[in-house]
């Protein structure tokens, strides 16, 4: 039985990954940078610092990320102002059901605390997390295991009693490295996954995953 359900945020609970992708693709186009559709999905689930290192290394330019980020951020918030932030299908229902059953939940996101809380407020998501872990609380972002190792430490639970819900490859890899069971609910298509990549179950949405999650918690 699982006593703690850990949720990623972007792309799993709130539909922000779509907005990030649009903003980054437009930014790549604006600066005439090639291979955006191939490169941008690889940043999903990364923190700001990890994205910076990845992008600068990919294009062999130590200044590139900081040159692109202001333009991308402006587009991101403009899109949110015009369209808002939708909840992912089944997110509120699952959180409400777990809360009703007295199951502890935790948020573990690569997004910084200030940004994450602002996005959650805009989305209108109701939550009752036991605690929340943010990208600025760790040195190494997903796919490094540090985020989920922090969750284990703060929870005071054995790993066998924890299950994580993730939408990104980097998030699943982080769980793999931390030796935690993970349910993968991909927000986008991934034609290729890294060697050693594995998960407990895979679903297309939280709606589909709900019964499996409720079946592995104490009655």
Cα(123)–Cα(12) distance, rounded to whole angstroms? 13
The domain boundary residue, chosen from 83, 109, 133: 83
**CA distances from residue 49 to 2, 54, 86, 100, 159 in whole angstroms, order as listed:** 32, 9, 26, 37, 27
Same domain, 23 and 9: no
pLDDT at site 191: 75
How many domains does the chain fold into? 2
Q: Looking at the structure, tell me whether residues 67 and 124 fall in a common domain.
A: no
**What is the separation, in whole angstroms, between the first and last Cα of the chain?**
9
Q: For residues 62 and 148, state if they share a domain.
A: no
pLDDT at residue 198, rounded to an integer: 96
Residue-number span of the structural domain to which 78 is assigned:
17-83
- 43 with 149, same domain? no
Position 47 scores a pLDDT of 83
Q: Which of 89, 84, 79 is nearest to 122 (CA)?
A: 84
8 CB contacts (<8 Å, ≥6 apart)? Answer: 45, 107, 108, 109, 164, 165, 166, 167, 168, 171
- Nearest CA to 187 out of 5, 21, 23, 3 is that of 21
Last residue of a domain, one of 35, 62, 83: 83
Q: Alpha-carbon torsion 75, 81, 82, 84, what sign?
A: positive
CA distance 135 to 6: 15
Q: Are residues 103 and 175 in the same domain?
A: yes
Q: Could you tell me if 69 and 100 lie in one domain?
A: no
Candidates 141, 123, 136; CA nearest to 43 is: 141
Residue segments in the chain with a per-residue pLDDT below the cut of 50: none
pLDDT for 68 equals 96
CB count, 10 Å around CB of 54?
A: 17
Of 49, 64, 83, the last residue of a domain is 83
Q: Determine the pLDDT at residue 48.
A: 87
Q: Are residues 170 and 111 in the same domain?
A: yes
pLDDT at residue number 157:
98
Looking at the structure, tell me whether residues 180 and 205 fall in a common domain. Answer: yes
pTM across the whole model: 0.92
- The residues pairing with 106 across neighbouring beta strands, listed in sequence order, are 6, 131
Please indicate, yes or no, whether residues 200 and 111 belong to a single structural domain of this protein: yes
Domain CATH number, residue 126? 3.40.50.1000
**Do 104 and 169 lie in a common domain?**
yes
Based on the domain organization, do 109 and 211 belong to the same domain?
Answer: yes
């Amino acid at each position: 039985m699982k006593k703690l359900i850990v949720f990623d945020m972007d792309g799993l609970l709130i539909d922000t990954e779509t907005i990030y992708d649009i903003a980054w693709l437009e930014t790549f186009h604006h600066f005439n940078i090639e291979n955006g559709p191939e490169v941008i999905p690889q940043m999903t689930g990364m923190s700001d610092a990890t994205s910076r290192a990845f992008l600068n290394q990919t294009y062999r330019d130590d200044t590139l990320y900081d040159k692109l980020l202001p333009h991308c951020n402006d587009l991101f918030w403009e899109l949110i102002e015009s369209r808002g932030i939708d909840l992912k299908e089944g997110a509120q229902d699952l959180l409400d059901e777990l809360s009703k059953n007295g199951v502890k939940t935790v948020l573990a996101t690569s997004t910084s605390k200030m940004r994450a809380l602002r996005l959650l407020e805009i989305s209108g998501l109701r939550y009752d997390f036991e605690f929340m872990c943010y990208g600025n609380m760790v040195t190494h972002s997903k796919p490094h295991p540090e985020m989920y190792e922090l969750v284990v430490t703060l929870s005071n639970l054995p790993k066998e009693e924890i299950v994580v819900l993730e939408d990104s490859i980097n998030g699943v890899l982080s769980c793999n490295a931390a030796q935690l069971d993970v349910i993968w609910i991909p927000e986008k298509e991934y034609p290729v996954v890294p060697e050693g990549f594995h998960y407990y179950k895979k679903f297309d949405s939280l709606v589909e995953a709900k019964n499996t999650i409720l079946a592995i918690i104490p009655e």
